[in-house]
Structure 1
Amino acid sequence: MTFAALRDWYSLDRYRARLTIGITLSLLAHALLLSLQFGLPGIGLPSLELPWNQRRGQAELSVVL
Structure 2
Amino acid sequence: MNIDTDGSIASVAFNFSFWAGGKKGLWGKESWGLVKIKNEWKITSVIFSMENENISPEPQKE
**TM-score, normalization: structure 1?**
0.21
Greater strand percent: which structure? Answer: 2
Greater helix percent: which structure? Answer: 1
Larger RCO: 1 or 2 (CA < 8 Å, sep 6+): 2
